Amino acid sequence: MSFIRVQGLKSLQGKIEIQGSKNAVLPVLAAALLHKGVVVLKNVPRIQDVFCMLEILKALGCRYWFEGHELTLDTRDLCSYEVPREEGRQMRSSVMLLGPLLGRLHRAWTCYPGGCVIGKRPIDLHLYALGRLGAEIQLEEEGIFVSGDALTGADVHLLFPSVGATENVLMAAAAARGTTRIFGAAREPEIQTLCHFLNALGAGIGGIGTGTLIVEGGRAFQDVEFTIPGDRIVAGTYLGAVMAAGGDICLAGVLADHMKETLDIVRKTGCQVEWTGNEIRALMKERPLPIQISTGPYPEFSTDLQSVMLSVAAVAQGDSQIQENVFEERFATGKELQKLGTRIIIEDRIAYVTGSYPLKGGEVCALDLRGGAALTVAGLAAEGESRVRGCCYICRGYEDICRDLSAVGARISMEEG
């Protein structure tokens, strides 16, 4: 089994090229099924979730060529509407294939997307939204079958701005006849990227970036070339690294505009931040100041950086509070951080963290993708050697966290043992 070995207490200096966004490319890959043609995607991250999605698309009849970070996807021979069980179970994002398969083939089947360690993650909002467009929903023993020969635009009111539900209904609405208005839509940058991709294909989506999206459906689609933006969560992870370890780093290839809420918190820890178009520079001379964070749907602070900020709070000059409002079980990493000497009390949805420095090196285990990245960040601020097991989780979303952190001088490597 592989693990990440980190020698802590070395400050970071240098530049990291930020990979393409996992949470942007996955819905774009699904949306490409709407078009019977060829799309070329640039800046595609070589991460496990992308490889898994490509295996699903291949099983559905698509062909692809993935060289470096450029992906060519040919969907002309799409012939199956059934998401393969093995891959479908591996990745929750398979549920977002329902919308495009329904739009292209008028039917779709996928296994129930597992919950995971961060929460139950139901899909009631996805099914409600597809039902509003006229889809028939059949809950079978092993999965969900949705069908509809004539999807029709309608008003959709999302009671919670679910990212996945917004993506699913956007894709189905692009294929539906007439106009769909989505109220209470998620506003994440990844939703905006999906809207821009769909419009490049030929869809007619307005209100991009707001909570009300208007989709003129049923238009013809065309081949398109599209570039995936940098991953704001990976960039936020590395900002966490320099906040915890100290130093002076530059992150290239990420839009600071998509990270305002993150950069506000980063500044409040005493980290000096400046940015140009798609480069962010972060200078951290002291231990971080204590933080008060409450996560929420965009533009609030991202739940995906909550675990990383636990690691930053663990070495802060005082007591921090971090409230998790999106997922009901997203503090598992806190228990692992206690093995590195952190004092964390979790009550309801709030983590109370008492900062101390340095942490003490030890062996910890990743329980989810972002938690694994957070434990790696904590190792940078721990005395001696730390080992982070459960790298399979980290590889789902980080192309090469060891390569990236080594580029700024961290003593880190992935090893077997």
Contacts of 334 (CB under 8 A, 6+ apart): 310, 342, 344, 346, 351, 353
Shortest Cβ 307–ligand EPZ spacing (Å): 9
Catalytic residue chosen out of the listed positions 52, 62, 111, 116: 116
| Cα 399 → chain centroid | 13
Query: How many other C-beta atoms lie within 10 A of the C-beta of residue 391?
Result: 21
Between the CA of residue 306 and those of 49, 99, 157, 210, 233, what are the distances in Å?
21, 29, 28, 24, 10
Q: Which is nearer to ligand EPZ, 192 or 303 (CB)?
A: 303
Query: How many other C-beta atoms lie within 10 A of the C-beta of residue 124?
Result: 11
Between the CA of residue 194 and those of 2, 4, 33, 71, 211, what are the distances in Å?
34, 33, 13, 16, 14
Cβ atoms of 361 and 340 within 8 Å: the answer is yes
Shortest Cβ 302–ligand EPZ spacing (Å): 6
Strand partners, 17: 252
Cβ atoms of 235 and 1 within 8 Å: the answer is no
Shortest Cβ 362–ligand EPZ spacing (Å): 24
Residues of the chain by 3-state class (helix, strand, coil), percent to 5: 35, 30, 35
Q: What are the residues binding ligand EPZ (CB under 6 A)?
A: 22-23, 26, 92-93, 119-126, 160, 162-165, 188, 190, 303-304, 326-327, 369-370, 397
Tokens representing 346 are: 């979790």
Q: Which is nearer to ligand EPZ, 21 or 180 (CB)?
A: 21
Shortest Cβ 229–ligand EPZ spacing (Å): 13
Q: Which is nearer to ligand EPZ, 164 or 246 (CB)?
A: 164
Shortest Cβ 170–ligand EPZ spacing (Å): 12
Is there a catalytic annotation at residue 116?
A: yes
Cα distance between residue 199 and residue 122, in whole Å: 29
Shortest Cβ 237–ligand EPZ spacing (Å): 10
Between the CA of residue 293 and those of 181, 284, 322, 350, what are the distances in Å?
33, 19, 5, 9
Q: Which is nearer to ligand EPZ, 127 or 382 (CB)?
A: 127
Q: Which is nearer to ligand EPZ, 22 or 104 (CB)?
A: 22
Q: Which is nearer to ligand EPZ, 174 or 373 (CB)?
A: 373
Q: Which residues are catalytic?
A: 116
